[in-house]
Structure 1
Amino acid sequence: MKRKAFETALPYTLPICVGFLFLGMSYGFLMRSMGFSVWYPMLMSFFIYAGSMEFVTANLLMSAYNPLYAFVLTLLVNARHMFYGISMLNKYKNTGWKKFYLIYGMCDESFTINCTVTPPKDVDKGWFMFFVTLLNQIYWVGGATLGALLGSFITFDTTGIGFVMTALFVVMFINQWEESSDHRPALIGLISSFICLILLGADNFMLPAMALIILIFTLDRKNLDKQEVTTL
């Protein structure tokens, strides 16, 4: 059962492996260029396991100690996971002890796979989601550690390296757009974000935009569910 779930999950995670290794190595290089030892990116990538926040944390560690600011900033950067978690409540039912790791290890990429992919009937759903989550975390931790190790010997200008995270989200969006015949969810996200950005500015639009997206999805849930059933 476990082997079948692993073999089913692996192909879905391989494209993410390429991206995570590159992103993780970029993060490892960045941390080494800022003077941190190899242990910092390795342990931070394992325990924090939030790519965008790890890049931000690198700067937080170099600034004055301000736990309240760090808390609020972390909440803003990773607030989307609250919405992810709500939408995965039914998915994680009846998964036993694996549920705790699935909650801890959920990232954008694992959420995308576990939320949209239904494994074959002969594959245990809980183990499938577990291996998707585990493999993605291994890719990220491995990439960050490798980048930190290589950063001990290779030095180069790291200006702009933090943009790789934005680039990954753009690629994921394009991939989802091409694979889905219904572009309403993507358009809802784009239009809602654009409206909030114009009204509230770049520093304040993220949470309101997410709330607006969730509200629209909730109000239009019946139509979206009908479209999903039709697609299946």
Structure 2
Amino acid sequence: MFGYVPLGMAFGVLFTAQLDYSWWVAPLMAVTIFAGAAQILAVGLLASEADLVAVFVAMLVLNSRHLFYGLSLLGRFSGAGWRKLYLIFGLTDETYSLLTSRSRGPDAAAEQRVDFLITLFNQSYWIVGCALGAWLGSRIQFNSTGIEFALVALFIVLAIEQYKALGQMLPLWLGAAGAGIAVAVLPASHQLLGAIVLVAAALLASYRLSLQPAATREPPGHG
């Protein structure tokens, strides 16, 4: 809640400051889209009068990272029944971080109910934040420059929480290296997807190498 409400308010303020829409459209986006980074990106694109095709492509590329999120949760969401569609729809960076870092019990059905509630509460916090920010932004005039950095700050906190859960520095170093390579060699429109592909490939290679000693170990001899 302490992450979603302030970030949602930041989005709401940006929405009303940069776009000539009614304030209630901001929480409506939170209900139908629920993608913090993509919504903030959409505000900038719409403010620059980008065509809808460009907005669609940009949001598709930005959210392509969810392909990797979904692959890692195939087993966890299996058998979730009617909750599965909403779990897929509501899978954001922050929700993914919470679902993958929390401790889990042996009862899969009970854990899926908790996953559903976490996702539902997260979207509720986001909707409330977007509504508050947009409503206040439509009535109070102030300089909103830099407020979008709240998104970067939240991602930093999530990265720290993932490190605490994993206890390994390798994914962080690979992420930093992948981002650096993508920024150096790829155009801005492809940097995010390129970095994700590089890091995913490096992690898969690392996992494969970690299995080799066990795979090549000779079976014990017999009498």
Shorter-normalised TM range: 0.7 to 0.9
- Does residue 143 (structure 1) correspond to residue 129 (structure 2)? The answer is yes
Q: 141, 144, 147: which is aligned to 1:161?
A: 147
Match of 1:74 in 2: 59
Aligned equivalents of 1:152, 1:201: Cα separation in 2: 36
Q: 178, 193, 196: which is aligned to 1:192?
A: 178
Letter in 2 for 1:197: V
Contact 1:119–1:128 at 8 Å: present in 2 too? no
Aligned equivalents of 2:194, 2:4: Cα separation in 1: 29
The structure whose Rg is larger is: 2
Aligned equivalents of 2:56, 2:24: Cα separation in 1: 23
Match of 1:96 in 2: 81
Contact 1:192–1:209 at 8 Å: present in 2 too? yes
- Does residue 171 (structure 1) correspond to residue 175 (structure 2)? The answer is no
Contact 2:61–2:190 at 8 Å: present in 1 too? no
Match of 2:217 in 1: none
Q: May I ask how many residue pairs the two structures share in their alignment?
A: 208
Give unmatched runs, 5+ long, in structure 1.
Answer: 1-16, 225-232
Identity %: 35
Match of 1:12 in 2: none
Letter in 1 for 2:126: W
Aligned equivalents of 1:161, 1:36: Cα separation in 2: 19
Letter in 1 for 2:26: P
User: Cα RMSD (Å) of the superposition?
Assistant: 2.0
Match of 2:219 in 1: none
* Residues 99-108 or 85-94, more deviating: 85-94
Matches within 5 A, 1:17-32: 17-32=1-16
Letter in 2 for 1:38: W
Provide TM-score, normalisation by structure 2: 0.85
Q: 9, 15, 28: which is aligned to 1:43?
A: 28
Match of 1:33 in 2: 17
Query: How far does the alpha carbon of each residue in 1:64-123 deviate from its partner, in whole angstroms, 9 at most, with x for none?
Result: 462321221111211111111111111110111100000000000111121232323367
Question: CA 1:216–1:119 in 2, change beyond 3 Å: closer, same or farther?
Answer: same
Give unmatched runs, 5+ long, in structure 2.
Answer: 212-223
Provide TM-score, normalisation by structure 1: 0.82
Letter in 2 for 1:171: V
Letter in 2 for 1:20: Y
Match of 1:59 in 2: 44
Aligned equivalents of 1:118, 1:171: Cα separation in 2: 19
Aligned equivalents of 2:136, 2:53: Cα separation in 1: 34
Matches within 5 A, 1:115-130: 115-121=100-106, 124-130=110-116
Contact 2:34–2:123 at 8 Å: present in 1 too? yes
Match of 1:213 in 2: 199
Contact 2:5–2:130 at 8 Å: present in 1 too? yes
Aligned equivalents of 2:156, 2:26: Cα separation in 1: 24
Secondary structure of residue in 1 paired with 2:145: coil
Match of 1:182 in 2: 168
1:38 CA drift (Å) = 1.9
Contact 1:42–1:144 at 8 Å: present in 2 too? yes
Contact 2:97–2:158 at 8 Å: present in 1 too? no
Aligned equivalents of 1:157, 1:172: Cα separation in 2: 28
* Residues 153-162 or 198-207, more deviating: 198-207
Aligned equivalents of 2:49, 2:83: Cα separation in 1: 38
